[in-house]
Amino acid sequence: MTFERKPGVYLCGGCGIAEAVDMDAVEKVATDEFKMTICKRHEFLCGEDGRKLIADDLAAGGVNQPIIAACSPRVMTDKFTFDGAQVVRANLREQVAWAMAAGEQTTTMAASDNVRMAITQAMKITPPEPYVEGEFSRRLLVVGGTLEGLTAALEGARTGYDVLLVEASDRLGGLFAGFAKVSPERPPYRDPEDNPVPGLIAAVEADPRITVLTGTTIARTEGQPGQFDVALSAGATERVGAMVVATGARPYDPSRLGHLGYGSGPDIVTNFELESRLAAGAVTRANGQPVKTIAFLQCAGSRDPDHLPYCSSFCCSASIRHAIQLSDADPDVQAFIIFDELRTPGTAEEFYRAAQEKGVIFMKGRPKEVDGGSMTVTYDDLLLGQEVPLQGLDMIVLATGMVPNSTDPDRPAVEINDEQAVYTRNDINPVAPIPVAGYRDGVAAPEGFGYPEIGLGEGAPLLNLQYRQGPHIPVLADGFSDSHYICFPYESRRTGIYPCGTLRRPMDVGEAMEDATGATLKAIQSIRQVSEGGSVHPRVGDLSFPKVGYDACTKCRRCTVECPFGAIDEDEKDFPIINPTRCRRCGTCMGACPVRTISFDNYSVEMLTSMIKAVEVPDEFHEVGAVPRVLIMACENDAYPAIDMSGLARQRLSAHVRIIPVRCLGSVSLLCVSDALSKGYDGVIMMGCKSGDEYQCHFVKGSAMAQERMSKVGETLKSMMLEEERVQTYEVAISDSATVAKRVNDFVAHIESIGLNPFKGF
């Protein structure tokens, strides 16, 4: 359907804009340069009269693209959202009036350029047509009958969704099923509580909305959110809308803890083995004698680079609970807890105090030697500064940690070979190349791609995803399912698939149940969003999705490899296939495409380059003379709001910069940089989110991919006979608002010191 473009420009003078900017000059940009037939000014556009001004034009049919030049596009979205209209915003407040000197000609020039870019943007976009093809399922799949899986199934059913719960073993409950008690989750947080797992199992089995399949694994998963087709080991294929992966964790292998005495005596046990004895009702020594003295050794394998480098989180409270349970059963029991750092955050602090009151002795130290024959623990007491032996103990408990079940250890891993491998960048994606047998035979690695060092280890994939990027859910270095710890902790890099609980990070029972609830709600949100054609976090509700011009596609495969979310597969002719509901709308594929043939209805390389070229770049013949022009391509999630907040704090920003918000730095093509320099810009700043393992990039790896691309910009600059320092990539968190203006101003000053771009005026 052809879109009839009807733009209208609305200029706001409120919040100090009219005092800082020559509004007559800005209006002439719209009416004289761009021949806008509708250009109106108002002193308070977000007020009732201002909104009515726009709404009346929309209702009359004269406008369907209101271009609102006022405050930042990040604010007043509720005020400036109009049904049936494609709204474009120009930032005249936070990044001009509040950041630049009032009344200066250069400030008005900045405002004028922002209007130029907004009008140009409107000319290059159309309202997106959502993907709503085919039948969308509202059924929820929960993988794993663990504590978390049971919780997720019940929460989904209570919300009104049908749930399919699949468990590989012949029983439900997972790691926590055998616990006699759990750490307290209710006030006053001082006594062990009953294990909730039996009650959860009974509730799940009685709920008519939940179908439970035990002894069942997933043989193959195809499709996308709303349209996942899952083949089960029993032979059936089920269509589901979204998945919660709750395969949980397993205890760390204690046979590797010989240095802590495991295996040297029958009365040296792990916390999980003690858990089983407590559940059985009696804890005795191997010879049947009662346990009167017991020592708990914390961090048994955890926080150890030779074993588990991370804190297993639940171990401290578990040892406290065990000591209390034993003391409650027999007040004569003397329990010692030897710790390096005891971690009992939040409500667990009361639990710690309760153990002290019951006579449990806490000793800060590190075990030096454990003798299973004499049942002696010798430890370095960090308070006394000397070695202290605990002799004649009845039992020694090693507080071992947990390992995530990110693969199925009971099934053989798929063998990796060069002809059936999915390739990823060594320095960008921590997921090992995984073969997809019979799916992508003969795949060659694009230039610059190869095998990374970190892999998933042994074991078959949980979901057997038939994705170009492999069958596994991406994981972090320690095997926990990948998620963004700040912005979307329940989401994996596979849209519509939500790991939770101890699969995501070590946690106790209460945390795991809460985590499962959050993941379930995100899965339900995904089902609802994709059925309406909208994206999930972080561009929630965005109806656009990437479209490929196959006539220009070179089959280079960079889009399929670089997509952070595995949203793009390939057909039998090696052309990319977009799975729209997997897409998070970051535009990384667009930035990766060397021939600019991937675009969105409302976002494209052509749109960006046209906005870049719309800016006035003064040369020596201009009335203000040749002055610097610095382009900032700023990520809309961190960098752009950081600049806004800088303006809110009235920090001075150079009037020579022009800022274009981008969905993600990964969406920016090198061609945008070369076009800017050819236009006469003197410098370019690529400003994106933090990257790295503890990333803040809202699109996971977009910022890192942009840095990889920009590392090659030096070749472009050399070919143009320009200095390499004219293009810089800055990592900016939203919390960097206090320093972002200074970094920009320092860059502008450096550009002035090395001289202006000789391409000005050409």
Q: Please report, for residues 144, 175, 222, 341, 422, the alpha-carbon distance to residue 456 in angstroms, rounded to integers and kept in the order given.
A: 19, 21, 21, 30, 14
pTM: predicted TM-score of the whole model, two decimal places: 0.89
Phi first, then psi, for residue 708 (nearest 5°) are: -60, -45
Statement: residue 137 has pLDDT above 90: yes
| Distance in angstroms (rounded) separating the CA atoms of residues 434 and 292 | 52
Q: What is the pLDDT of residue 470?
A: 85
- In one-letter notation, the amino acid at residue 398 is L
Cα distance between the two ends of the chain: 39
- Residues 172-185 have a mean pLDDT of 92
- In one-letter notation, the amino acid at residue 34 is F
Q: What is the pLDDT of residue 709?
A: 82
- Residues 741-749 have a mean pLDDT of 97
Provide the 10 A C-beta neighbour count for residue 514: 16
Statement: residue 672 has pLDDT above 60: yes
| Distance in angstroms (rounded) separating the CA atoms of residues 241 and 220 | 15
- In one-letter notation, the amino acid at residue 283 is V
Q: Are strands 242-245 and 140-143 parallel, antiparallel or unpaired?
A: parallel
Q: Which residues contact 322 (CB under 8 A, 6 or more apart)?
A: 271, 274, 275, 278, 296, 335, 397
- Residues 648-664 have a mean pLDDT of 97
CB 57 within 8 A of CB 82: no
3-state helix/strand/coil string of 239-298:
EECEEEECCCEEECCHHHCHHHCCCCCCCEEEHHHHHHHHHHCCCECCCCCECCEEEEEE
Q: What is the pLDDT of residue 761?
A: 63
Tell me the pLDDT band of 442, cut-offs 50, 70 and 90: very low
Residue with tokens 């020579």, as numbered in its chain: 656
CB 470 within 8 A of CB 436: yes
Q: Which residues contact 746 (CB under 8 A, 6 or more apart)?
A: none
Lowest mean pLDDT among 329-333, 559-563, 700-704: 700-704
| Distance in angstroms (rounded) separating the CA atoms of residues 635 and 668 | 10
Tell me the pLDDT band of 448, cut-offs 50, 70 and 90: very low
**Crossing angle of helices 147-158 and 509-531, rounded to 10°:** 40
What are 727's strand-pairing partners?
684
Cis peptide before 538 (omega within 30 of 0): yes
- In one-letter notation, the amino acid at residue 688 is G
pLDDT digits (tens, 9 = 90+) for 365-424: 999 999 999 999 999 999 889 999 999 999 999 999 999 998 876 766 554 443 334 433
What are 231's strand-pairing partners?
220, 237
Lowest mean pLDDT among 254-268, 297-311, 322-336, 704-718: 704-718
Tell me the pLDDT band of 48, cut-offs 50, 70 and 90: very high
Q: What is the pLDDT of residue 61?
A: 94
Q: Please report, for residues 72, 150, 357, the alpha-carbon distance to residue 207 in angstroms, rounded to integers and kept in the order given.
A: 49, 11, 43
**Per-chain mean pLDDT for the chain:** 90
Statement: residue 438 has pLDDT above 70: no
- In one-letter notation, the amino acid at residue 488 is F
Q: What is the pLDDT of residue 711?
A: 80
Q: Please report, for residues 183, 185, 355, 356, 577, the alpha-carbon distance to residue 350 in angstroms, rounded to integers and kept in the order given.
A: 11, 11, 9, 10, 55
Radius of gyration of the chain (CA): 30
Statement: residue 313 has pLDDT above 60: yes
Q: What is the pLDDT of residue 710?
A: 81
- Residues 607-614 have a mean pLDDT of 97
H/E run at residue 48:
helix 48-60
Q: What is the pLDDT of residue 484?
A: 65
- Residues 483-511 have a mean pLDDT of 86
Statement: residue 718 has pLDDT above 70: yes
Sheet of 657-662, strand order: 657-662, 630-635, 683-688, 727-731
Sketch out the chain's domains with CATH numbers: 1-127 (3.40.50), 140-248+406-413+457-531 (3.50.50.60), 254-401 (3.50.50.60), 547-592 (3.30.70.20), 603-762 (3.40.50)
Cis peptide before 188 (omega within 30 of 0): yes
Cite the DSSP H helix spans in 434-548.
509-531
Statement: residue 301 has pLDDT above 70: yes
Residue with tokens 């909730």, as numbered in its chain: 196
Structure tokens at 544: 């656009």
| Distance in angstroms (rounded) separating the CA atoms of residues 557 and 669 | 16
Q: What is the pLDDT of residue 423?
A: 37
Statement: residue 132 has pLDDT above 80: yes
- In one-letter notation, the amino acid at residue 725 is E
Q: What is the pLDDT of residue 412?
A: 63
Lowest mean pLDDT among 426-435, 479-488, 725-734: 426-435
Q: What is the pLDDT of residue 456?
A: 52
Provide the 10 A C-beta neighbour count for residue 579: 22
- Residues 648-655 have a mean pLDDT of 96
H/E run at residue 505:
none
Which DSSP string do the residues of 184-227 spell out, in sequence order?
Answer: --STT--S-EE-SHHHHHHHHHH-TTEEEE-S--EEEEES-TT-
Q: What is the pLDDT of residue 235?
A: 92
Q: What is the pLDDT of residue 622?
A: 79
Query: What is the DSSP secondary structure assignment for residue 31, as one 8-state letter?
Result: I
- Residues 143-165 have a mean pLDDT of 98
| Distance in angstroms (rounded) separating the CA atoms of residues 167 and 216 | 6
Taking alpha carbons only, the member of 351, 384, 353 closest to residue 366 is 384
